[in-house]
Amino acid sequence: GPGGGCSPEHRRFFDPEFFSIVLFDQRGAGASTPVGEALNNTTSHLIADIELLRKYLEVERWLIFGGSWGSTLGLAYGQAHPERCAAFVLRGIFLGQQSEIDWFLYGLRTIFPEAWHRFASMLPPAERKDLLKGYLKRLFDSDARIYLPFARAWSEYEGSCSTLLPNPELVRHFADEALGLARMEAHYFAHQCFLAPNQLLNNIYRIRHLPASIVQARYDMVCPIVNADQLARAWPTASYAIVPDAGHSVWEPSVSTIMVAEIERMKLHLAG
């Protein structure tokens, strides 16, 4: 995401005999309604929603688990409420920096030129120097005949770049969540994810004392490994596992395997 919803499959990373598993769809995403709504939808709103959910469920402290935008939001929430966090397991690190947004919009062309040209060619040539502006205009158009094709194009672009080897099934999954995913990503990208420059790295001191696992695929092109490297260097006490043979998706087999192993390791730490 931002904009991607949860699925029951996300529970598979956790031992249900040990963990109470809480999955939630953020504003505008997944099963939350209205889908793709940008009004009152900022990182601060999402942090407040997580806190509201924690209080409602009467959870004193919890393990924060998130990948891609989930790693961004997990860090932002943890830094706002460190006393409510027991540990972190973060994957496919995205720090909300402008350089990362620019990479998604333009840099991926160097690795996935076919997917990028399909993405960019939705706009007339004169608008392709500012893809975000062009897509925002159309994604938030009132006419479904306009916004739906652009939402699918955005989502299929991301899905096409999310695995080491082509995975049409994953691309179809991205297309199924197209409207929420595309609108929310474009909205958040247009506002630099509602974060100050380098905010998450600058504030890592607030959670540095807490146990953490960072999992990053070597060939993650959506959220390149340089982001995870920055986080690991700022958080040297965190475990840092590099998956040698996978792309961005958590459903890459080797990523899933290491995620389960890291959560099991964290389980032993929390149980002890």
Residues designated catalytic: 68, 220, 248
Nearest-angstrom CA–CA distance, 234 and 18:
30
C-alpha distances out from residue 80 to 48, 83, 112, 188, 246, Å: 10, 9, 36, 19, 32
Three-class secondary structure of residue 89 per DSSP: strand
Tell me which residue has tokens 């087999």: 253
The CB-side HSE value for 214 (13 A sphere, CA atoms) comes to 26
Tell me which residue has tokens 């409510």: 84
Nearest to 35 by CA among 240, 252, 137, 182: 182
Residue 211: is the preceding peptide bond cis (ω within 30°)? no
The token pair at 114 is 């076919």
Count of other CB atoms within 10 angstroms of residue 114: 9
Q: Which DSSP symbol is given to 110?
A: G
